[in-house]
Amino acid sequence: MTSLRELYPIPDIDPCWTVPQNFEASFDWEYDDGRKQMMHLYQKGKDMQWDALDRIDWSLELDPENPMELPDELSGIYHTPVWAKFNDKEKAEFRQHMQSWTMSQFMQGEQAALICAAKIVQQVPDLDAKFYASTQVMDEARHVEAYKKYLGVMGVAYPMTKPLQTLVDQALRDSRWDMTYLAMQVVIEGLALAAFGNIRDISKNQLSQQVNAYVMEDESRHVAFGRLTLKEYYPQLTQKERDEREEFLVEACYHMRDRFEARELYEHLDLPVDEVVEAQKHSEFQRHFRTMLFQRIVPIVRDIGLWSDKIQAAYAEMGVIGYADTDYNELSANDEKRAEEFDEINKQKRQDYVEEVAALGASGIAAAE
């Protein structure tokens, strides 16, 4: 069986990455009933487990020249001289690699979330939070499995970007349990939800839509988990501790905004990297995309109480302060609704197949008689 690592077009990537850990594992001897909201979230996490092999319709095909069936206008280089010089073959190669790079970052982020969720299980002091985080560990494993299988179909995969690797490294090395929440549950997964939603809603390929819709259904709960825990914990911090977390948060948001520059992709395709990255910054779609990424992060940050002048100034500079009033619960409800819609599509498809086979069998019997 081919390893996904073998699909990397970039040579000399280490087969694994290790991050030294230095934190205390916490045991909760209370064994109480837990917080009502947290236990509700835990029950929901148990009830909504699913199998990536069964729920997703893997019989759906991908067009090798445009796997996600995305419009070229969404590319950051569409209106540049670089794109104008491409012939049809080069355009097809760019689409395949650009879309594979995007899905690879989703997969790499999900493995990071898997490891961070396992760390949260060990670190967080309350048993009810450990309960929910344990369901997230299973969720993240399933997400890695789904994206791994999807990338195997695409035939190309890319390693984790440096900005994402930097943030994950910081989250894993920090000995304070809430910093892992802040980095993963709020920033990385909040941004990922927006990126997943972009594919789910714009892609015309149903396999791409399904994979992202089902992952989003889980991720909405994960962000809610971080929101609930940090909203209760952060009022207990000293001003110095709050300042430290806000400084980290601002830096993390800039890191995540810049993770979509895709420099390693352009280097592999032998494109003028600086020219392409600069062109992206002036692309109308890319400008919208870079702000839309914070649609889920900003209201959560406000809700957990990290809403100082420094945070607001940073979000204003990024052009995302307007998302502060976004109704996150409404977005989460829509994520569940969209996943249910794909369930209905797949259910109807299976039913139509059974009826078709039954009709063929009946016609065969009739012919024999």
Q: Which domain holds residue 9?
A: 4-24+34-334
- The whole-angstrom separation of Cα 114 and Cα 108 is 10
| pLDDT per position as a tens digit, 30-73 | 998 889 999 999 999 999 999 999 999 999 999 999 999 999 98
CATH number of the domain at 255, please.
Answer: 1.10.620.20
Q: What is the DSSP string of 266-277?
A: HHHTT--HHHHH
Token pair listed for 98: 């650009």
Whole-prediction pTM? 0.92
Q: In this structure, is residue 342 part of a structural domain?
A: no
| Residue 98 resides in a domain | yes
Q: In the structure encoding, which two tokens stand for residue 106, read together?
A: 């989703």
Note whether residue 348 is domain-resident: no
165 Ramachandran zone, left/alpha/beta (phi>0; psi -120 to 50):
alpha
Separation CA 135–CA 9 (nearest Å): 34
Local structure of 32: helix, strand or coil: coil
Section 109-131 average pLDDT: 95
User: How much of the chain, in percent, has pLDDT values that exceed 70?
Assistant: 97
Total count of domains within the chain:
1
pLDDT digits (tens, 9 = 90+) for 181-224: 999 999 999 999 999 999 999 999 999 999 999 999 999 999 99
HEC per residue, 197-217: HHHHHHCCCHHHHHHHHHHHH
Residue 45 in any domain: the answer is yes
Tokens of 197: 């939603």
Is residue 238 included in any domain, yes or no?
Answer: yes
- Give the number of other CB atoms < 10 A from CB of residue 218: 23
**179 within some domain:** yes
Least confident of 1-10, 51-60, 228-237, 323-332: 1-10
The Cα 37–Cα 44 span in angstroms is: 11
Q: Are 132 and 41 in contact (CB under 8 A)?
A: yes
Domain assignment present for 208: yes
Is residue 99 domain-resident? yes
Dist CA 159 CA 331 (whole Å): 30
Give the tokens for residue 269: 């395709």
